[in-house]
Amino acid sequence: MTTPVVSIAYHSGYGHTAVIAEAVREGAAAAGATVHLIKVDEIDEAQWELLDGSDAIVFGSPTYMGTASGAFHQFAQDTSKRWFTDAWKDKLAAGFSNSGSKSGDKLHTLQFFATLAAQHGMHWVNLGLKPGWNSTEGSEHDLNRLGFFSGAAAQTNSDEGPEGVHKADIATAEHLGRRVAETARTFIAGRAAVAA
């Protein structure tokens, strides 16, 4: 059985989003994937090649002023070289974001990631979880406590460091990593079956 390769292309301004990226990595690795963490503001040619060789790319960024960070936007523009050659066509894609507010317009960031993926001809993997913490029996410790569907969303108080990232958001990100790895494994097997 082929091991899926998952790369996590992310930016973290103050360390909170890096915690979420690591959780996605742990989830994907636990599901049997080979995983690469790539900081988009430090990316080099070897890391671009890792992205090109991946079965799935998970995009991550804090949400600043209603969208992904400037560093992530620069990375997105730089992917145009891959767009011209269809280098990422038919790969899987997913995304995650963190902000200081419960909503914080993270949906817009996730939609930006999904649009970027669509421009590359990639297939979007959603979170695949029902919303948590939306009834009297729910709690802030539920998976998907913020109720996002497009990807993993996290909220960290603006006066706390990376140690303040909520454990439920970390667990939700781990779930996303597992889901991406498992979906990639299914895609690889399906392509092999079609080729045979």
User: What is the tens place of the pLDDT at every residue in 69-87?
Assistant: 999 999 999 999 999 999 9
- Output the pLDDT for position 1: 66
How big is the chain, counted in residues? Answer: 196
Look up residue 50 and give its DSSP letter.
H
Residue 155 backbone phi and psi in degrees, to 5: -130, 130
Provide the whole-model pTM: 0.98
Give the pLDDT of residue 2.
85
Q: How far is residue 8's CA from residue 161's CA, in Å, rounded to a whole number?
A: 22
Per-10-residue mean pLDDT of the chain, 196 residues long, equals 94 98 98 98 98 98 97 98 98 98 95 98 98 96 97 97 98 98 97 91
Contacts of 31 (CB under 8 A, 6+ apart): 177, 178, 181, 182, 185
DSSP secondary structure letter of residue 105: T
Distance CA 169, CA 127 (A): 12
- pLDDT recorded at residue 136: 96
